Amino acid sequence: MQQNKLYVGNFPYSVDEAQLRSLFSAYGEISELAMIMDRETGRPKGFAFVTFASQQAAEKALEQNGRDLGGRPLKVNVAMERAPRGGGSRGSHHGGGDRTSRW
């Protein structure tokens, strides 16, 4: 498990990537910052993943947990690996006929 990747959540939708980078770069070098966006609207979903170059920097950045940002308390913790999703065709339709039928 990667210990230098943090989940940062509960921030206002108005916060942008530059603001997050500025806030967390004080703790060390950021190797990746992934702000999660809504597929339909293209707007931020209010959470991101920040990966630091070192585990020590990530541990220090955990101090931001609970800090007020735009009137909301940040949630900062070590990112957990997501359990693998089941495979399969995920809603694909095979063959002709009406689109409401399912196999």
Q: What per-residue string of b and e applies to 43-59 under the rule 16 or more CB within 10 Å gives b?
A: ebebebebbbeeeebbb
Cα-flanking dihedrals φ and ψ of residue 63, to 5°? -60, -20
Quick: pLDDT tens for 57-90. Answer: 999 999 999 999 999 999 999 998 777 777 655 5
In this structure, is residue 51 part of a structural domain? Answer: yes
**Would residue 46 count as lying in a domain?**
yes
Q: What is the mean pLDDT of residues 44-55?
A: 96
Number of domains in the chain: 1
Q: Is residue 84 assigned to a domain?
A: no
Q: What is the pLDDT of residue 100?
A: 46
Does any domain span residue 21? yes
Q: Domain for residue 96, yes or no?
A: no
Question: At 56, which CATH number?
Answer: 3.30.70.330
Residue numbers of the domain that contains 36: 5-78
